[in-house]
Structure 1
Amino acid sequence: MRSAEGSSAPGPRTVEQWRAYLADYSADILRVAEDGEPSGVSDEQRAAGWLGYEGASAEQLAELEQRLGTRLPPSYRTFLGASDGWLHLSSFMWEMRTAGTVAWQTETDAGLHGFSDGAEKAILERALLISAHGDEQYWLLDPEDVSENEEWAAYLWASWIPGLGERHASFAELVLAERASFEQLAGYDGRGVHPEGVEEFLAQGRAQALRGEAEQAIDSFARAAVKGAGAGMYLKTILSAFLDLRSVHHEIRNQVLGHDHVVAEVGADLVLAEAVPLYLRRTVEEHEQYGRGAGIAGGDYLTRLVPELSFSVQESKSVEESRNEWFERAAAHVSPTLPEPPAFQQALDRARVLVALDRADEAWSVIEAAVPHWHSGNPNRIAPVVLLTDPLLRHVITPDRARLVVTTLRGLNDA
């Protein structure tokens, strides 16, 4: 099968281009690596800033193609010519095969035979396996999905992805995608590969957020997060809560509470007042809806922030009793309020009274009129999260209303 895609494929194409690209990539990996990382790299490789080896010779490549019975796709062939094998080509791929060990997948012990049905099974059965050791991951090339410039489609199989992963038009495109993923993961850990320009992205995102340009602001904050900004990660997550509270539960757990640099950068008090109540709300709602949730242990993330939440649960207690006790303790350690501008605070007070009188629509009208007057002197507060966490008001804020809050111009100062 020949595909029209990839006629002007991006990424390195020649041996010289691969050498330059891989040298730059190696430098990035080694610069942000923590002590002892990446593993398996020799002292000579570290000193040279090169996570690969000598390139495969023309004779070695010819022998490989004769053994396989086909000519290799250009970007993969020139990659081997630049380095015969490689270490840590992505965050989860630790070693690539060499010209002497590349083989058809069915002739290896990878254990992927018959993993999928239909089209994916056919790809697996004909694929070329080019990776060696990874974190439950394999890299594959499809010899029957070929572009006009002779590139083979590339796939990444991983135990955590159902079936085959995203199709890439070439080996080079797969490498580009995995390098972008490496930069994202490193940035999310607070080790930005290219931190330059991070303050500009944060400033841009804050301005966009207050103008009501929520999606654009989220993109700016995400770019700052990739550059290592904990504030970017936090602001992206908080703003996303107004657009889709369901998914943000997991983002708060993994990207805010799970990263110490995020909490340190924005301040534990703010996290306790905004992110933690959002997290607890969604945890309870998921449990009520699906009969599951973070349970007592959502605690692992929170107890690092609030050690008082770590306690033993007696075996005599039911799971439900234990969960309820844990949430009671959690709620007691969450800051209930943050200072609000006077006009907005008055609107909140009035809205709470209306809700208590069962006049929810009127309460929303009061809130809606006050949203443009919301502002904060804290650069890491960009929206009135209290509307999503207040025990009374959160029932007034439907998904459409939550979106309206963050797509409304905010920051009109009443002073």
Structure 2
Amino acid sequence: MTDLLLDPGDVNAEGEWALYVYRGWSGEYPDRFESFGAFMRAKYVEFHGDNGADAGFVNETTRALDASLERARLATLAGEDVDRQVEALAEAMRHGRPRARELYVQLTTMLGSSEYFHGPGGLEDPLVGKEFLPVALAQDLHAGKDDPWFLRTLDEGDQDRATALLERIRARTYEYEAPGPFGEAVVAAREQARWGDTEGAWRTVEAALADWEPYGDDHVAPIGLLADPILGPVVTPERGRRVLSTPRGAGLAGRGDSGAGAAGSPDAAVPDGLAWLVDPARNQHSYRFVLAEGLSPTELAGRLGGGSLLPPHSHAETRPWAGITRDAPDRVGFCGPGNEAARDEAPRGLGWSFVFRDGVEPFQPHRVRPMGEKASQGGGRSVLVWCERYETSPVSFHFSYCEDGQERYRFTVSGGTREPSGSGAVPDALDPRLLFPDAGREGDRGGERRALAAISETFGVSLPRFAIQHGRLPAVMTGSWIRPPGRGEARLMFVRHRPSAPESGS
């Protein structure tokens, strides 16, 4: 059922004829090999792959590959030349060497690949139950697959445990755990990232990498981190490479390219400010946020939403045009000066909590609810910004500043006009005539950028870019920021009339 064709009309530079393998039963086009020798080398690899699981299958090639695999394992723990170790493990895996795929998938997973490892061992094996399986479930859910096929391949007892694990990951309540000091650092980092301090969270994880403890000889990386709904987005492929380049595990602290906390890991992150919201790469035209000083995120969410916090949401999960209604929640976080660890119990006078959302309902300047006043009650300060812009239309930019539950000043740029302050005098640094000299008609969003930079500098406030764009933050349903129309205000109503059903026989 398989034919091999040597083609004298397809000759390489060495004068060798190409070989085509045609499997009549497959319905596919023939596979081309550069030469008969190339075909035989491929079959040699396939032969080893088919027999690699046999403990009695030992020859010079298998011994050399096993030695290479062990060198790659130790070099991986020592943080040495990640790409070389990936190549060595890939070669051993192609030849079917035991352990090769188990090690290879750990490296490629940390580097951003989505590959499964489904081998021997039940969920009582921590490498399977706490590392491989959570990552596989999280990857499937992220890809929109809500019924992972490999769950059905587990033992009956493990299926129930795996299903419960899947529910935790789906509900975003799963928390990655690890033994020893590294596990303690993971707990601390999760609390930092939960409220928006993703840079601090990464530094906490990175500083503890040397104390990471493997579950066994074939455990070389904490891949289960990627399944954590809070910490997973923090460990980008670039940072995954950093994990693999850091010596970790007992007795390896002195080897490797560099240790955790080396150059390139600043002691403190530079604040992102606010002007990054205008970055064209964001491709977002509407957003709003409230920053409140001295409140914890939970306190701020309570004032603006009145309900309990929702599970962590990503940016995509709060976009109303992504299959979610206009009632999608706002996200909550903590940032600002004095924020050493983004705790929920923020001491008053230190840091600013925020509520943020992209893609909001249309801005209506005279019907904005007093969200800033609510956020600043009890002696605090708050800053509110609402920006809306579509394609080349004039920008609508609304700003207000409140203290102790009272609005002190505000300005609104909308429809090509600048509205004067409705309360106190606006400081010179925030004068809309200087920030928006063309009343918001600029095509490059220059006025918006200047306004955001001025607000950031005046109040010393910032929003965490990575956490908002790529991370997951607790969410809160604040309800509409637009009040219903009052007496004498216009309403636009749509009424749909359905024609009556025709009479029978007509």
Bigger proportion of residues as strand: 2
TM-score by length of 1: 0.50
Bigger proportion of residues as helix: 1
TM-score by length of 2: 0.42
